[in-house]
Amino acid sequence: ETGVTQTPRHLVMGMTNKKSLKCEQHLGHNAMYWYKQSAKKPLELMFVYNFKEQTENNSVPSRFSPECPNSSHLFLHLHTLQPEDSALYLCASSQDMSGGTDTQYFGPGTRLTVL
Amino acid sequence: GQNIDQPTEMTATEGAIVQINCTYQTSGFNGLFWYQQHAGEAPTFLSYNVLDGLEEKGRFSSFLSRSKGYSYLLLKELQMKDSASYLCAAMDSNYQLIWGAGTKLIIKP
């Protein structure tokens, strides 16, 4: 138990569906991250929020839309996804982004399958 | 460009020692992290090195050479529960983590 929770743990959706992934951290951290993890590939950073402000958007397609209403919660809204978007989506948090000792703590991930 | 290289898969025997290597190229450097990830679970933090040398934590040790862009994770007295993927990540000048694809470690009895 890392103090970062994600729901749902598994999600199957069609290409025309709209769904949302939720992440919550109970660590009092100020930075939150969305990553995509595909088999045998490095973790891909998608979005970063620091003190609720989006600081990074790594050329992610607009069919992924993040939302950070407060520093404890992070959402990833999904619509009109493609089968190649099937992957494990990981949320992480860290104290902030000011130092090299800023360890990221991960949630268990949402296994997404797009049909 | 920024890049992390680590072996795809390694096999070792229970009770033995294994060393997982990682080489990195980043724009600036603010430290090197190792994470462990069991199948279907979250990556969990193992170690952080920013200065050259060896850091020891129980059965696990991590080494860094900044001049060579090289790190390794050393696992001693291997146990079956150490079967997992080990992720190497370097922090660049923007404090973002650049990740390797992970090394799957298989432990045999």
Tens-place pLDDT, residues B91-109: 998 888 999 999 999 999 9
On the question of pLDDT at B34 being above 70, the answer is yes
Token pair belonging to B79: 């146990």
Q: What percent of chain A has pLDDT over 90?
A: 76
d(CA A114, CA A100): 36
How many A-B residue pairs are in contact by the CB < 8 A criterion?
52
Token pair belonging to B106: 């298989």
pLDDT at residue B95 in the model: 84
Q: Which of B54, B66, B44 is nearest to B19 (CA)?
A: B54
Residue A107, min C-alpha distance to chain B (Å): 6
In tens, the pLDDT along B41-93 reads 899 999 999 999 999 999 999 999 999 999 999 999 999 999 999 999 999 98
- Residue of B95, B98, B103 for testing the chain A interface, max A β-carbons within 10 Å: B95
Nearest CA in chain A to B101: A42
d(CA B6, CA B18): 14
Q: Which residues of B touch A55 (CB under 8 A)?
A: none
Residue B102 near residue B34 (C-beta atoms within 8 A):
no
Q: Which residues of B touch A108 (CB under 8 A)?
A: 41-42
Q: Which residues of A touch B97 (CB under 8 A)?
A: 43, 45, 104
